[in-house]
Structure 1
């Protein structure tokens, strides 16, 4: 019997999991915070049509932060902010919104409290948060804080609970998708709907809460889309924070 082939230096080593505030004690964070970026997922709790859960935006933001942390060293994951500015969805039971003003204040105070880190990356997957995120980022930068905000882009005629988001959820949490309830909604570009949406809310333009057509969504499309978004996020962070180094963030010590 031949002996096993010797290990080679070219064999890829497993990538250790990133540090997470929801599972690491403070001494482990203190040891690396000054050289680490804090990635904060920003989501929402709002309706996503008759076929998707209320946590779509939060789930996507968390997944993108996790991919960012695996793509470069010294990224620490914060728990997500699961509520946002979702007032336009108020006509659908279950939607919870804190409004634009509260969202802006929350982000300003949150990032101010994170001065121990080298910088903060706000990863927002809810379009309704775009304005408060922009305003908060401008204020924080004016205060001299190192902060980057990023939002994904997509088809303006498929902006909510349509093909893109349904595919993403099929890739991330397929058990939460009610495919038997998926149906097209309004497919007009979002910019054409904004006057009515701002005046009367989303239900005035789409009774089922969908902007797009989810009926042909697939997990494979979702994986491709998440990969595209993750690459865009990674490129933005690279341009802002510089290239990665070869040393990874030290891992938490085992609890004995």
Structure 2
């Protein structure tokens, strides 16, 4: 599936080794294989993370001295909260930690900098504990999250709009239903201990009603601008997450 909206970007998977520059910046999409309600595909987080990564790599702010390389996506994540739904494949936090760690250590043999572009909230805890350890080892690595202020939690209007923009043929609009629409902060404790199925039999946390490709394009543009600015700025929190550069937007 071709991503929409990005120009030609250097993809590591399609390169031959003599063409791979040393001292490169490598962007690594991180997603998941997990239920996204009855209307979105299991690969939604990976599709979004990969599309954001490609567009960030093509952003003018990152053109010099050379555009970033886009690595193949890490498609399996920590999705234990979705384990009650057929189709979900979770490798758990320990396995994900090992993959992130060895990915960085291997890339560091020829690349100068690595940024994980994460599309799944369940991966955050692993990234936030793993990346600081890698930074203590001396690696220039950070992570960022594909999230927009005000977006709903899972398979609701935000993700449905993004998928209508990126892959409309994979959105089963007629099957979309509302789920638990409470704010994520309000349900997080239950979500962590009981899982999504206990809160929403449909698997949706939010309401897809009103989603549109136009809204998805706007959200995507916002994500790309924010992440490109943070990658270019290079400011990192104690948890290894990219943050706004000094003097940037709040």
- TM-score class, shorter-chain normalisation, is 0.7 to 0.9
Could you tell me which runs of 5 or more consecutive residues in structure 2 were left unpaired when the two chains were aligned: 1-5, 236-250
Q: Is the 8 A contact 1:157 1:211 kept in 2?
A: no
Question: What is residue 16 of structure 2 aligned with on the other side?
Answer: 25
Report what 1:169 is aligned to. 163
Q: Distance in 2 between matches of 1:195 and 1:137?
A: 25
Instruction: Indicate if the aligned counterparts of 1:45 and 1:54 stay in contact, CA closer than 8 A.
Output: yes
1:245 corresponds to: none
- Report the equivalent of 1:102: 95
Pairwise CA distance, 1:214:
0.4
1:75 paired residue number: 68
Deviation at 1:237, TM superposition (A): 0.5
> Per-residue CA shift, 1:52-88, capped at 9, x if unaligned?
0001100011011111111122200100000000000
Provide structure 1 residue ranges, at least 5 long, that are not aligned to the other structure.
1-14, 242-256
Task: State how far apart, in whole Å, the 1-side matches of 2:150 and 2:193 are.
Answer: 19
Task: Provide the aligned length of Structure 1 versus Structure 2.
Answer: 224
1:37 aligns with 2:28: no
Change (3 A) 1:92 1:155: farther
| Mapped partners of 1:33, 1:93: distance in 2 | 42
1:218 to 212, 217, 229: 212
Residue range with higher mean Cα deviation, 144-153 or 163-172:
144-153
Q: Using the alignment, how far apart are the partners of 2:191 and 2:7 within structure 1?
A: 45
CA deviations 1:176-225 (Å, max 9, x no partner) are 00000011111101122122212211100111000111021000000000
Q: Which residue of 2 aligns with 1:136?
A: 130
Larger Rg: 1
Runs of 4+ in 1 over 6 A off after TM superposition: none
Q: CA–CA distance in 1 between the matches of 2:171 and 2:7?
A: 31
Please give the alpha-carbon distance, in whole angstroms, between the structure 1 residues aligned to 2:151 and 2:107: 37
More moved, 101-110 vs 166-175: 101-110
Q: Which residue matches 1:111?
A: 104
Give 1:125 deviation, angstroms.
0.7
Residue 194 (str. 1) matches residue 188 (str. 2)? yes
CA contact (8 A) 2:180 2:200 kept: yes
Matched residues in 2 for 1:199 and 1:59: separation?
27
Structure 1 length as normaliser, TM-score? 0.84
- CA change 1:22–1:67 in 2 (3 A) is same
Of 45, 49, 55, the match for 1:57: 45
For residue 155 of structure 1, report the CA deviation from its aligned partner. Answer: 5.2
State the shift of 1:154 in Å.
3.3
SS at structure 1 position matched to 2:54: helix
CA-atom RMSD in angstroms: 1.5
